[in-house]
Chains A and B, each alone.
Chain A
Amino acid sequence: MKNKDHITIAHGSGGVLSRELLDEYVFAAFSNPYIDQKHDGAVVPVDGQLVISTDSFVIDPIFFKGGDIGELSVNGTVNDVAMCGGIPAYLSLSFIIEEGLALADLKKIICSIRKAAERAGVQIVTGDTKVVEKGKGDKIFINTTGVGTLHLKADIRLQRVRPGDRIVINAPVAAHGMAIMSQREGLTFESDIVSDTQNLNKMVEVMLDRFGEEIHLLRDATRGGLAGVLNEVAEDRNIGIHINEEAVPIDSQVAAACELLGIDPLYVANEGVFMAVVSESVAKEVVELLRKEFHQTESGVIGECTESHTGKVVLNSHLGGKRFIYPQIGEQLPRIC
C-alpha cells in the first residue's frame, strides 16, 4: 500500500498532509463564500424559523448500485429537513475515515456529495475530517447536519393528522434496501435493482407552495420501511391507518428479490420514498403534481386514516382479507426455505 494513494493517520494529524487533503479534496470541491473562509465554522444568513436535522451514515458497501455513501449523506439529511416542512439551505459535512481508504474512493465520494448538494440546492459550509486506525472504523463514516428555513405555508405536525386523511406515497418501495442486500457480502444473487436515493426537498417545497396547510404530515420511509413510519404515526397519534395492498407500488424485480429472500418489502429501507398525510380534498392533486412535475410515475394514494383500529396499521390484502402490519421486531432475517 503506497501512502500517497491511501488515507494514513497523518492525514488526520492536523499537519501538512491534513492541510493538503482539505485543500485538494474538500475545499476544491465545495467552493462557496462560507466554506472559502476556511474557518472553524460558518456564518450564514437566514430568514425565518430555523429547521435543523442531523444524521450519520455508516452504510456498507460504501458504493452500491444507484448511489454511494456520499450521495446518501446529502439526500438523507436534506430529506429530514424537508420532512419538517423546511427548505434546506446549508449542510455541515464530517468524515470519520478509516486508515487505508483509497484516496480515489474518497474523491469519488466527495464528487457525489458535490453533485447531490447541487441537485438539492444546498451549500456545504463547514465540516471536519478525522482519521482512525485500521480496524477502528469501517472505511468511511459521514455525518451531515442540515440547516434550512421553515416554509411559510408549512404546518406539519402529528396533531394535524385526522380520520379521513389520505396517505400518499411518491415512489415504489424497498428498492434501496434490496439494492444493498443484493450486493452485500455473502449474497450472490445478481440483479439490476438500484437504490432509490434522491432528494425530496424540491417536491416538498412545491407541494407546500401549492397545498400549504392541506399537507398535514410528512415522513420519509427510511429504516424500518413504510411499515415503520405508518406504525409510528398510528401509534403516536392514536389513529387507525388502513392500507390497500394493491395500491402500494413495488418494482417487479424488487418484489421478486424480496420473495426469494423471504423478506417483507414493507419493512425494507428506502432512501427516496416519503409518505404524506394530506386532506382528502387534495390527495389526487398531490399525486398528479408528483407524477407530472417530478416524474414520480408510481406515486399514488395507498390508504387512509380511520377512527377504527386506533394505534394500528391494517392492510387489506388483494383477496379482501385483512391483516395487521406491526412495527418491525429486531432485524429482518432471511428464512430457511
Chain B
Amino acid sequence: MKYLSEYRNKEATLSYLEAIAGKATSTWRIMEVCGGQTHGLVKNGIIDLLPDTVQMIHGPGCPVCVTPTSLIDKAVELLEGGVIVCSFGDMVRVPGSEKSLLEAKSSGGDLRILYSPMEAVTIARENPEKEVVFFAVGFETTAPANALSVLHAEKAGIYNYSLLVSHVLVPPAMEAILDDEHCMVDAFLGAGHVCAIMGTHQYHPIAQRYKVPVVITGFEPLDLAEGIYRAVSQLEEGRYEVENQYARVVREEGNLQAQAVIEQIFETGEREWRGIGSIPGSGYRMKGSYDRFNAEKKFGIQQRKVVTETRCIAGDILKGIKKPSECEHFRRECSPLNPLGAPMVSSEGACAAYYHYKSESNQA
C-alpha cells in the first residue's frame, strides 16, 4: 500500500490546512465532485479543520445516489422474473418505488453482490440455463470494466449475459450544476478516479467558459488538503485553470486503452439523474450492435413513469444547495437502515457520510 501512508501524513496535511487559512481572505465555496472525496473529508475530520472562510459543498459524485428509481424498479423486476441479478454492494439497499434489490432478494430473488462484472460473466457461464444481468452503475470509472465484460462474454459465446446500464458522466453534471440559478460553487475538486480513465482535457472548456477553477484531486487527507489549497490559491489570484493534484495517477490524456474499450461498447446519450433530472449527453448507453447484451432490449423492459420522492431532498443535496444536516428528515425518519433516498444509502452518499462520521458539534 505504498502511496497510502505517505498521503495520510499528519504534519504535511496540517501544514496545508494552515496554509489554506493563511491564503483565504474571502469566503469560498468549493465543491468536491466525487463521493469518495466527501467520505475522505468527513471521515478524517478535515471539514472541522478548515477555516470558516472555506466551505465544502458535497457534489453529485455518487453513482448510486443519482441512479433513478425507475432503473432500480427494472432491476427488481428482472430479479423477481427469475433472472440472476448481479450488482455492486452499494446499490442493493437503495429503495425503488416499491422495494430495494435486497428486499426482493429476501422474497427469493437470486441476487449476487460482486466486486467485478467479470465475476458475473463467470456466473453466466456456470448457469447456462439462466439469464444473468449485471447492474452496470457508475461514472466513467467503472465503464471500462463493464464494457470489457461484454467483450469477454461475446468472445466466449456467453449469450445469457447482459448489462442493465446506468452509466453517468461527470462533465455534463458539473455544467448542469453551474447552469443552475442557485449555484453557489466557486471552484471544483475534480474526481481523481474518473480522470484517471478520461484524462483532464475535458475540463478545460468548463474552467474557461464558467471561469471556475478545477483541481483534479485524490482521496487521501493530504490529497484533499492540497487540492483545496490549490483551489483557494486560484480563487485568491483570480485564476481559473485545470490543475492536476492527483498526477501520480492521472495523466492529461487519461487511459487511452480504457477509453477505446468504452467507445467500442457505449455511446453517449441523455440520462436521467435522480434528484436532478434529465441531462443531455450525460450518460452512456449501449451501442445498437450490442443489443443482445443489452438487458433493456433483451427483456423488452418498458420505460416507466418515474416516481418522484416527495420527502427526500436529494436534488438540493446533490447540487450542493443544502447540507444533509439542513434536511428536516436527517437522523429522524431518514437513516441508513430506513433511507428516504439514495444519498443516505450509498457509502459515498453525502447524507450517509454525515450520518456515520460527522460529529454533532459540527453539524450545523
Q: Enumerate chain A interface residues (CB-CB to B < 8 A).
A: 186-188, 252, 255-256, 259, 261-262, 312, 314, 317-324, 326, 329-330, 333-337
Contacting B10 at CB < 8 Å: which of A186, A255, A319?
A319
Q: Are A322 and B138 in contact (CB under 8 A)?
A: no
Instruction: Report the separation of the CA atoms of residues A259 and B44 in the bound assembly, to the nearest whole angstrom.
Output: 14
Q: Are A319 and B49 in contact (CB under 8 A)?
A: yes
- The residue in chain A whose Cβ has the minimal distance to the Cβ of B338 is A329
Some 24 contacts from A to B, beta carbons below 8 A apart, are A186-B112, A186-B115, A187-B115, A188-B119, A255-B1, A314-B359, A317-B44, A318-B44, A319-B49, A321-B44, A321-B45, A322-B48, A323-B42, A323-B359, A324-B359, A330-B93, A333-B89, A333-B113, A335-B88, A335-B347, A336-B88, A336-B90, A336-B348, A337-B138
Query: How far, in Å, is B197 (CB) from chain A's closest CB?
Result: 10
Query: How far, in Å, is A295 (CB) from chain B's closest CB?
Result: 26
Residue among B13, B64, B115, B348 with most chain A CB within 10 A: B115
The verdict on B28 contacting chain A, using a C-beta distance below 8 Å, is no
Contacting B348 at CB < 8 Å: which of A186, A255, A335?
A335
Residues 138-160 of B, flagged 1 when their CB comes within 8 A of A and 0 if not, give 11011000000000000000000
The 8 closest A-B pairs by CB, nearest first: A321-B45, A333-B89, A334-B89, A323-B357, A335-B347, A329-B336, A336-B88, A317-B45
Query: How far, in Å, is B16 (CB) from chain A's closest CB?
Result: 11
List, in ascending order, chain A residues with CB within 8 A of B4's CB.
Answer: 256, 259
List, in ascending order, chain B residues with CB within 8 A of A337's CB.
Answer: 36, 63, 88, 138-139, 141-142, 193
Contacting A318 at CB < 8 Å: which of B8, B47, B193, B360?
B8
List, in ascending order, chain A residues with CB within 8 A of B355's CB.
Answer: 326
Instruction: Report the separation of the CA atoms of residues A326 and B336 in the bound assembly, to the nearest whole angstrom.
Output: 11
- The residue in chain A whose Cβ has the minimal distance to the Cβ of B34 is A337
Instruction: Report the separation of the CA atoms of residues A336 and B348 in the bound assembly, to the nearest whole angstrom.
Output: 9
List, in ascending order, chain B residues with CB within 8 A of A314's CB.
Answer: 359
Interface residue total, chain B, C-beta cutoff 8 A = 47
Q: Are A333 and B347 in contact (CB under 8 A)?
A: yes
Q: Are B336 and A336 in contact (CB under 8 A)?
A: no
- Given the interface pairs A334-B88, A335-B347, the reply to whether A186 lies near B193 with Cβ below 8 Å is no
The verdict on B356 contacting chain A, using a C-beta distance below 8 Å, is yes
List, in ascending order, chain A residues with CB within 8 A of B348's CB.
Answer: 335-336
Residue among B46, B346, B356 with most chain A CB within 10 A: B356
List, in ascending order, chain A residues with CB within 8 A of B359's CB.
Answer: 314, 322-324
- The residue in chain B whose Cβ has the minimal distance to the Cβ of A333 is B89
Instruction: Report the separation of the CA atoms of residues A169 and B179 in the bound assembly, to the nearest whole angstrom.
Output: 53
Query: How far, in Å, is B163 (CB) from chain A's closest CB?
Result: 15
Query: How far, in Å, is A274 (CB) from chain B's closest CB?
Result: 25
Instruction: Report the separation of the CA atoms of residues A320 and B18 in the bound assembly, to the nearest whole angstrom.
Output: 13
Q: Are B92 and A333 in contact (CB under 8 A)?
A: yes
Query: How far, in Å, is A306 (CB) from chain B's closest CB?
Result: 14
List, in ascending order, chain A residues with CB within 8 A of B337's CB.
Answer: 329-330
List, in ascending order, chain A residues with CB within 8 A of B92's CB.
Answer: 333
List, in ascending order, chain A residues with CB within 8 A of B8's CB.
Answer: 318
Instruction: Report the separation of the CA atoms of residues A333 and B64 in the bound assembly, to the nearest whole angstrom.
Output: 13
Contacting A336 at CB < 8 Å: which of B13, B346, B358?
B346
Residue among A252, A323, A330 with most chain B CB within 10 A: A323
Instruction: Report the separation of the CA atoms of residues A319 and B141 in the bound assembly, to the nearest whole angstrom.
Output: 29
The verdict on B133 contacting chain A, using a C-beta distance below 8 Å, is no
Residues 10-51 of B, flagged 1 when their CB comes within 8 A of A and 0 if not, give 100110000000000000000000001000001111111100
Instruction: Report the separation of the CA atoms of residues A195 and B221 in the bound assembly, to the nearest whole angstrom.
Output: 30
The verdict on B114 contacting chain A, using a C-beta distance below 8 Å, is yes
Q: Are A323 and B138 in contact (CB under 8 A)?
A: no
Query: How far, in Å, is B41 (CB) from chain A's closest CB?
Result: 9
Known: A320-B10, A321-B49, A333-B347. 9 other contacts (CB 8 A): A186-B115, A259-B1, A324-B359, A330-B93, A333-B92, A334-B113, A336-B88, A336-B137, A336-B346
The verdict on B91 contacting chain A, using a C-beta distance below 8 Å, is yes
List, in ascending order, chain B residues with CB within 8 A of A256's CB.
Answer: 1, 4
B335-364 with Cβ < 8 A to chain A: 335-337, 346-348, 355-360
Q: Are B93 and A322 in contact (CB under 8 A)?
A: no
